[in-house]
Chains A and B, each alone.
Chain A
Amino acid sequence: MGRYIARRLLQAIPMLFMISVVLFALVNIAPGGPLSGHGRSRRIRPEKAEILKRQFGLDKPLPIQYVIWLVGNDWMRVDADGDGVTESYGERRGILRGDFGFSYRNRQPVLEEIADRLPNTIYLMGVTLIVVGIIAIPLGAISAVRQYSVFDIVVTTLSFMGQAIPEFWLGLILILIFYAWLNNPFTGAPLLPSGGMQTFGMGFAIWDRIQHLILPVTMGMVGWVAWYSRFLRSGMLDVLHQDYVRTARAKGLSEHLVVYRHALKNAVIPLVTIFALDLPSIFAGSLYVELLFSWPGMGRLYYQAATGRDYPMLMAILIIGAGFMITANLLADIAYAYLDPRIRYD
């Protein structure tokens, strides 16, 4: 197993390299560029655009830009002041030495910005995924065991609704009900906050944090719960008709043991794969949830970078995201082997 993991990790290196070339090309070739205005400055004065172009390094051919992005330019002379003379060494170290550059948007190191946002996203998405697991697995399992019961029908109906509901609309409705309409009968303040991670100026308080989580987690989990519970239900139904379940029953095991030890454990295996593949969203965040609930996470950071053509930020998020994706795939395979002893990697 150790060798297998080592091999997979080694394979990831050329893969990431290829991905980086393709992404760099795509990001730069896509129409539009960082030299146009945004917000109220519709256009940038040509004199300003010229300065920005040089400061962003966009005055060099694309392949050179890629090389600088990869290995930096502190080993070559650059023309920092635009007078046509390359007089000083560059300052970029390149991503191979951990320098992802600075954001075109606010001139801050890209990694710092990501480090600011990432914990917020992991926090929100982590809680969401845990809640999803807690709700979806019992729902799916019970509706499979009690196939065609009222419970099953209700869960099935709800999960179709959950999959069909537009996430953004659901969020708006949640805000309307729990922020605008319902009030805390004691304080008269809205029952739940409209967004943000905590009440400003309050310091850390568990209950306050939970209040701020309820709506975004609800919005983010509905689609997932629906999809996971459907998935588990069909997996479970499949397993319940397997011979080994019949054997377990024939042995005289209690129904509880049959269902929860023999059947559920096997039915969960494919779900683990899916779950592992969803793990990168812990990094990527959910744009709609973050937009609606003013959550300072990765989804908004990426959206902002994409709409503003902030190439260094885009590249950093995409490359780190690709790394997460590759890791999640590896995790899925390992978890698979662990849960299903028939699978061997060598």
Chain B
Amino acid sequence: MTKKLLNLLVVISMLAIAAPVAVAAPPVQDGGQDYVVVKDDWLSKLSDKYLGNLLAYPAIMELTNQKAAQDSSYATITNPDLIEVGWKIYIPGATEAQTFMAAYSPMAPAEGPQGETSIVILVPEDPTGFNGLVTDTGYEQALMELVLLGLTDIDPQGEFYLELAAEMPTVENGGVVVDEDAWTMDVTWKMRDDVVWADGEPLTADDVIFTWNAIADPEGGIWAEGLDYTDSIEKVDDYTFVVHYNTVYPNYRIQFGGENFAVWPEHYCDASQGFVAWDCNRQPLSSGPYILEEWATGDYLSFVRNPAYFEAGKPYIDGVVVRVVPEQSVSKTMMVEGDADLHIWPSESVANDYLVAPNVDLSVSPSDRWVMRLFPNLAARGSVDPVENPHPILSDVQVRQAIRMGIDVDTIVDEIFLGYSKPVWTEFFRPPYICDITKPEYDPAAAAALLEEAGWIDQDGDGTRECHGCKTGAEEGYVMSMELTIYAEYGEELELAQQLVAEMLGDIGINLELSMFEGTILWADYESGGIEQQGDFDLDMWDDGYPGIDPTDHIWYYYYSEAAEPDWGWNVGRWINEDADALIDETYYLDEEYRQEMFCELAALLDEELPQILLFSAFDGAGYSARLQGVQATVNDMVTWNVADWKIVQ
């Protein structure tokens, strides 16, 4: 009885788990044969019977269809689940089947007519659509690059390149005219005249103006860079238009392009639905290299080559499938197994795995954008006024300097971020604005001395300093203990970095309690209880950086005094500095040399005052299959920026 039960158990467990593995020794049939379908036959059954494998049924199906193409007595099987009694089909021999199945891979979507090539791109979440201005998770932009064009874009080296524009307007070529007295400017754009939408309609200046008006519509529009500076756009002819600005706007070159902006078709999009919600956002009409074929929400999007694409012969690859795979370890496995061709933004540890995987390569952006940084709150917790209520610890610049000296950035970068990050200590570290600021030294002894000097001394010997004559207005004996907050979405690496920072600062007598919040809580608006906007933090750590190559607005939003008002900017450390305001005002000019000078003066001021403590760059890269050629990750755009140039090499 016992034995019988055990047998039963084995059978059950085999059925439950191993059924598909059970491949019996094949009753080998060499040489193919014709077969007439009888009642109760189905393909996988025949496949099991004659080929010894349930899963080899595609061999029967495809080879029968091949015969049917030459000899009409054979049936044509379109649906493997449907065969009719009396059909003549062809059952291949075992070797023939094996050869066929070795070449046949239903996992790879490279099926279809002979010679078609197709790649699979993995994204972790369902993109909201193709409109990068409405939602900016990065994946909308990745999709947008497949189907839509802008006037200009920025390449991985930080240089502008033209898409729809025929030339870049500058002061020299007369494209930019500045009215020095009124302090306004006009920019004339000349567009290519050989670009058409996928339906054959020409892409003209009307489309650009239509797009801009839809964005600027107060009801259904959205904010875009340059919106506040643009008075109107005027059409000159079908391929020329003039933009009238109410000020001098240095970043005009990317206003109608870049990673977020695309030109939308006037004859296709319904302006009455509003820019943010029009159906175009999910069913775009292409001007770019690919056409959206099908979108299965939450599952995949498939694209086919746009035959009307203006670059002759491109794109080289016929089809693109974007698959939503939320779990990174699954994405990694699919890449390594060869079932996917591109993994956008793998974590540092997965990137490391790609380096050693034989069939996966890694592309790393040549420059960096996101910088992990500490935001010290200069106002007391819960207050937004650093003058009336200064932070008991962080309002003293010597303390901030000591914190910077006490953190060994090199170790964090090497140990946790596996060398994919690089130490960064100034906002002006990447082209075109690079300022010569000396790299701060890691020196815990000097940091400790600085804290002593600032009046933070550990008299009770518990390892944490207290205020004894400190200059922040904190009461005598106030313990140097604070909260260090991070956001949850970055993942394990940031948590480790947080622990390491706490340990290092613990060594110089600053005690840090660790906490972690979702980004939606940390960065929410004041009313929704946003931790930063409400000033309800001591120190927080996360990564940010500016898109494109113009830092002006980014700098304004982080360091200008007005940006310290809740919900009016991101100066959430409430750093108020008149000199900085004056310098930032001076950067809204066109003269590049002057801008550079102003930025570098500001860089020196920031280095002294430390309203933020910049630590290291965050990794930006993509894993791609070795059969793919031309992939180049970039912080200036999504990795799909040059998808039309990609090739498959066997």
Contacts and interface: CB of A to CB of B under 8 A. Distances in A.
A176 to B, nearest CB: 7
A35, A53, A187: most-surrounded residue (chain B CB, <10 A): A187
Nearest to B297: A116
A38 B102 contact: no
B159 interface: no
A160 to B, nearest CB: 16
A205 B106 CA distance: 12
Contacts of B2: 149-151
Contacts of B12: 135
Interface string A13-32: 00000000000000000011
A204 B82 CA distance: 11
B312 interface: no
A-B pairs with lowest CB-CB distance, top 8: A39-B137, A33-B528, A296-B298, A41-B136, A81-B218, A106-B128, A32-B521, A48-B223
Contacts of B221: 51
Given A106-B129, A180-B337, A304-B125, A296 B297 contact: yes
Contacts of A341: none
Interface string B512-555: 00000011111111011110000000000011100000000000
Contact of B105 (A185, A187, A191, A207): A187
A117 B297 contact: yes
B441 interface: no
Contacts of B107: 189-190, 193, 199
A47 interface: yes
Contacts of A291: 326-327
Given A116-B298, A206-B81, A188 B102 contact: yes
A63 B60 CA distance: 65
Contact of A192 (B9, B20, B134, B281): B20
A182 B21 CA distance: 8
Contact of A201 (B111, B227, B339): B111
Given A113-B297, A205-B81, A296-B324, A179 B333 contact: yes
A3 B44 CA distance: 52
A55 interface: yes
Tier of interface size on chain B: 35 or more
The secondary-structure label for the interface of chain A is: loop
B32 interface: no
Nearest to A293: B330
A33 B128 contact: no
A40 B136 contact: yes
B102 A48 contact: no
A286 interface: no
Contacts of B16: 135, 218
B114 interface: no
B330 A194 contact: yes
A134 to B, nearest CB: 10
Given A151-B8, A187-B102, A291-B327, 14 more contacts: A32-B529, A33-B520, A36-B525, A47-B227, A47-B228, A107-B128, A117-B298, A176-B333, A180-B336, A188-B105, A194-B337, A294-B326, A300-B298, A300-B326
A46 B330 CA distance: 37
B98 interface: yes
Contacts of A151: 2, 5-6, 8-9
Contacts of A184: 53, 55, 101
A151 to B, nearest CB: 4
Contact of B282 (A39, A44, A108, A199): A108
A257 interface: no
Contacts of B228: 47
Nearest to A42: B544
A195 interface: yes
B523 A36 contact: yes
A208 interface: yes
A130 B522 CA distance: 43
B474 interface: no
A154 interface: yes
A236 interface: no
Interface of A: 31-49, 51-53, 55, 80-83, 102, 105-108, 113, 116-117, 120, 135, 146, 149-151, 154-155, 172, 175-176, 178-180, 182, 184-197, 199-208, 211, 214, 218, 290-294, 296-297, 300-301, 304, 307-309
Interface stretch (B180-188, B242-250, B562-570, B593-601): B562-570
A133 B178 CA distance: 77
B81 A201 contact: no
Given A32-B528, A43-B570, A172 B5 contact: no
A293 B56 CA distance: 24
Nearest to A182: B21
Contacts of A52: 222
A335 B346 CA distance: 50
A207 B44 contact: yes
A183 B634 CA distance: 36
B79 A203 contact: yes
25 contacts: A31-B528, A37-B136, A39-B136, A39-B137, A46-B568, A49-B567, A52-B222, A81-B218, A82-B218, A107-B129, A107-B277, A107-B281, A146-B5, A149-B5, A150-B6, A151-B9, A155-B9, A187-B101, A189-B106, A190-B337, A197-B299, A207-B54, A207-B81, A296-B296, A296-B324
A51 B20 contact: no
B79 A294 contact: no
A181 B597 CA distance: 59
A128 to B, nearest CB: 13
Contacts of B461: none
Interface string B567-580: 11110000000000
Given A51-B223, A113-B297, A214 B20 contact: yes
Contacts of B227: 47
Given A39-B136, A205-B80, A308-B520, A200 B276 contact: no
Contacts of B223: 45, 47-48, 51
B524 A31 contact: yes
A36 B276 contact: no
Contacts of B298: 116-117, 120, 296-297, 300-301
B367 to A, nearest CB: 16
Given A200-B323, A294-B299, A294-B323, A43 B138 contact: no
Nearest to B568: A46
B602 interface: no
A200 B300 contact: yes
B212 to A, nearest CB: 15
B345 to A, nearest CB: 8
Nearest to B129: A106
